[in-house]
Amino acid sequence: MTSENVSESGAVGPVKAVSVKAVDDQLTDELVHRARAEGLQLTDEGGLLQQLTKRLL
């Protein structure tokens, strides 16, 4: 992985150094909490995992 980040506009810039583990844990907790609060399934058809996979691909 490189130290550059591509934004939606296509511009490339440096990535700030942060603890990946801390960000991963916080982000995962927030996504799961919000999905459950809104009644969104995590793994079923149309669920959080499927939506994330579509966005990443």
Residue 5's pLDDT is: 47
Average pLDDT over residues 16-34: 81
> Quick check: helix, strand or coil at residue 2?
coil
Average pLDDT over residues 45-50: 90
Pairwise pLDDT comparison (21 vs 6), residue with the higher score: 21
pLDDT band at 38 (very low <50, low <70, confident <90, very high): very high
Residue 23's pLDDT is: 73
Tokens for 23? 């960000």
Q: Above 60 in pLDDT, residue 4?
A: no
